[in-house]
Amino acid sequence: MVDKASLVIKNGQIYTVDKSTPLAEALAVKRDKIVYVGSNEEVEDHIGSDTKVIDAKNRLVLPGFIECHSHLIDGFVELFWINLFSANSMEEIKRLIRKYTEKHPDEHLIGGYGWNYEAVLSDQGLPKKEDLDVVRDRPVWLVDYSGHTALANSKFCELLVSSLKEEELGYTGMEKDSETGEPTGRFFECLDVWSLSSLAETFDIRQQQLEGLKYAIEKATRLGITSVHDIMVNLNDLKIHQQLRNEGALNARIYAVLYHPKRTTKEDLLKFEETRSKFSDEWIKVAAIKLFIDGIAETHTAAMVEPYCDAPSTSGSTFYTLDEFKKITARLDKMNFQMCTHACGDRGVRMILDAYEYAMKKNCSKNCRHRIEHIEVVTKEDVPRFKQLGVIASMQPLHAASDESYCKALGTERLKEAFPWNSLDKAGAVLAFGSDWQVADMNPLLGVHSAVNREDIMLDPGEAISLEKAIEGYTINAAYASFEEDIKGSIEVGKLADIIILSDNLFEIPIDKVKDAKVLLTIVGGKEVYRSDKF
C-alpha cells in the first residue's frame, strides 16, 4: 500500500532538471521530501483524506531557485538606507540626504547605497567629506552600487577614527590626505568596515540587520528562491541567522560563506572550524570561505592582464601576492574549506586558478569545488582550466549590463569578450548563477533572461547560453556548488520538496519575454512560503 502524501501537485508541466526523466505531470510530497514524480493518473494513489492537492493548471513547475551569490545579511541597507541608484548628480544626492535626515530625526547613521560614478565624478575626482557635510551632527555613509567604494562626511570619519585602533583603520579602505594625513571621506575597497565588531556596535545596526534579514528572505521567497548562498558573513551575522530560525521565520535555506579578511588569524580559523561543526544541516550550513583577490573595473582595482584603456598607467591591483595567496589557499584547502574568491579581472582569475592548483596538488585534495566569484573577464588560455581543476564559475548574469565607466575602463575589444558564459560552458566548467544582490536585482528570472538574451549591444551575443543551461545555473549547478546536489536542485524522489510554480512556461513563450514571467507559488520543505494573489 502506497503511503499517502502530505502534498500533491498535479496537472503541471514539470521540468525536473533531472536528465533521466526531464518532464512529468505530477509529484507527491511526504513531510519535506519528494516521494513521487510522474503522471497525473498514478499520483492519485498518493492522495488521502489529509493530502493537500494543488492544481498547477498546466503551468510550469520547477525546482526552487538557488541564489548562488547574495548578501542577505545586508538586507537592512535596502530596508533602511537611502536608495541612490537613480540619482544623477551630487546635488540630487545631497537633496536626498537632507530629505531623509528631516524625516528621520532619531536615525543615528544616515546611510545610502547605489550611487554610480557618472553621477558623482567631477574634475577633482570623487567627492570628499566636506561635500557631504550637508549633515554635520550625524554620520553619513554612502556606498556605491558595487559595494566596493564609499563616501563619508566629516562626522563619520571622526567617529571611525575615535572608534577603531590604528591597525583596524588600515582595513577600512580609508583614504588619507597626502599632506595633512586627515581622512578625505573617500573609502576604496571598504569591504571590512561593517565586519569590524567595534564599528557595528558604535553605529548600532544589529537590530536593523535582523529586520533586514527577515525582509531579504521574504523578498527571496516571492522570487522563487528556496536556498541562498549568503556570501561574506561573519560569526556575529550567524547569530542573526540562527535567531531568525529560532523564531520560525527562516523560510529559505542558507549556505553561509564566512568572510576571510586579510587580518584573519589562526585563532579566527579555529573559530571557523568550530562554527562549521555547529551549522551543518539542511537549513543553515557553513562550509565555505569568502576571499578577495581584486576589486572592480570601475575604480581600476580589478587586476587585469593588460592596462586599463582609460588609465594606461595601471592594470589594477591584488589584495595578496601570488605567494601569499598560495599559502592562504593551501591552508584553507587542507582544512577542507571550500573557497569562494572574488575576481573581476582576468589577472585576478589567473592568480586564483594558480593558487587553487598549487593548494590541491600540495594537499593531494579531490572534489574541492573551489569557486571563483564574478569572472567578468578571463583570458581564453584560462577558460579550460576551470574544468581541469574542478573550479566552479560562480557568475551573475545581470552584471552583464555595461555602464559608461565600465566601458571606458575595459575598452571595446575586451568588453566584447566579457562575461564568457558560453565559452566556459563549452569548455566543461560548471556555471552556478546568482545576483550579487543588492548590486543587482535578486530576481532569478531576470538573470535567466540576461543569460539567454545577452542584450547588451557591447557584448558578444555568442556568449549567450540556452534556456536549459540557464535554469541549471540556478538549480542543479547551484546545488552542486554547495555540495548539495544529492538533496536539492532538481525534482527527484528523495530530494527536498523545494518547488516553484511560474505564471508562464519559459519553454513556450518568446525568449525575450522570459523577464516578464512571475513566480506564483513557492514551496520550501513541503510548506507554502509564498503564494501570489494571481494563483
Residue pLDDT, tens place only, 516-529: 999 999 999 999 99
* pLDDT range class, residue 403, cuts 50, 70, 90: confident
Extended beta strands in 131-264, E state: 140-144, 149-152, 174-176, 183-188, 225-233, 253-259
Cα–Cα distance measured from residue 526 to residue 491, given in angstroms and rounded to the nearest whole number: 12
Q: By C-alpha distance, which of 14, 38, 17 is closest to 467?
A: 17
Cβ atoms within 10 Å of 124's Cβ, excluding its own: 8
Strand partners, 111: 141
pLDDT at res. 157: 93
Quick check: helix, strand or coil at residue 59? coil
Handedness of CA 216, 219, 221, 226 (dihedral sign): negative
Do 358 and 329 form a contact (C-beta atoms < 8 A)? yes
DSSP class per residue in 84-122: -TT--SHHHHHHHHHHHHHH-TT-S-EEEEEE-HHHH-B
How far from the centroid of its chain's Cα atoms is residue 56's Cα? 30
- Mean of pLDDT values over 303-316: 97
pLDDT tens for 266-282 read 999 999 999 999 999 99
Place of cell 553621477: 119
User: 164: pLDDT confidence band, cut at 50, 70 and 90?
Assistant: confident
pLDDT at 122: 87
pLDDT tens digits for range 419-431: 999 999 999 999 9
Residue 195 has what pLDDT? 64
Q: How far apart are CA 240 and CA 250, in angstroms?
A: 11
Does pLDDT of 287 surpass 70?
Answer: yes
Query: How does residue 105 score in pLDDT terms, banded at 50, 70 and 90?
Result: very high
Using an 8 Å Cβ cutoff, are 127 and 149 in contact?
no
Run of H or E including 324: helix 322-334
pLDDT score of 198: 61
SS3 231: strand
% of residues, the chain, pLDDT over 90: 85
- The mean pLDDT of the chain is 94
Tell me the mean pLDDT in the region 287-302.
95
Which pLDDT score, from 0 to 100, does residue 200 have? 62
CB 11 within 8 A of CB 486: no
Report which DSSP code applies to 437: B
Count of other CB atoms within 10 angstroms of residue 103: 8
pLDDT at 410: 95
Handedness of CA 259, 63, 467, 454 (dihedral sign): negative
Is the pLDDT assigned to residue 197 strictly greater than 60? no
CA-based nearest residue to 427, from 382, 460, 470:
382
In the numeric block, the cell 551630487 is attached to 90
Instruction: Write the secondary structure of 280-293 as one string of H (helix), E (strand) and C (coil).
Output: ECCCEEEEEEEEEC
Calculate mean pLDDT across residues 304-318. Answer: 97
Mean pLDDT of all residues in 227-244: 94
Q: What is the pLDDT of residue 108?
A: 85
Q: How many CB atoms lie within 10 A of CB 325?
A: 22
Q: Is 444 left (phi over 0), alpha (psi -120 to 50) or beta?
A: alpha
Task: Reply yes or no on whether the pLDDT at 488 is more than 90.
Answer: yes
CA 387/CA 430 separation, integer angstroms = 8
Distances (CA, A) of 182 to 111, 128, 129, 135, 175: 22, 11, 11, 19, 8
**174-176 β-sheet, strand order:** 82-83, 110-115, 140-144, 149-152, 183-188, 174-176
For residue 430, the 8-state DSSP code is P
- The predicted-structure confidence for 377-390, as pLDDT tens digits, reads as follows 999 999 999 999 99
pLDDT per residue over 10-32, tens digit each?
999 999 999 999 999 999 999 99
What pLDDT is stored for residue 192 in this prediction? Answer: 67
State mean pLDDT over 398-404. Answer: 85
Run of H or E including 343: strand 338-343
E strand or H helix at 352: helix 346-363
Name the 3-class secondary structure at 421.
helix
Return phi, psi of residue 408, to 5°: -65, -40
Residue 201: predicted pLDDT: 66
Q: 3-class SS at 341?
A: strand
| Predicted local confidence at residue 236, as pLDDT | 87
pLDDT over 80 (residue 167): no
Whether pLDDT at 173 is above 90: no
Does residue 417 carry a pLDDT above 90? no
Domains in the chain, CATH or no CATH each: 7-64+495-531 (2.30.40.10), 75-203 (3.10.310.70), 205-480 (3.20.20.140)
Contact 522, 67 (CB under 8 A): no
Q: What is the pLDDT of residue 189?
A: 85
CB-based contact 228:444 (threshold 8 Å)? no
Q: Is 303 left (phi over 0), alpha (psi -120 to 50) or beta?
A: beta
Place of cell 586579510: 262
179: cell is 599632506
Check residue 206 and give its pLDDT: 79
Question: Chain centroid to CA 506: how far?
Answer: 24
Q: What is the mean pLDDT of residues 467-491?
A: 98
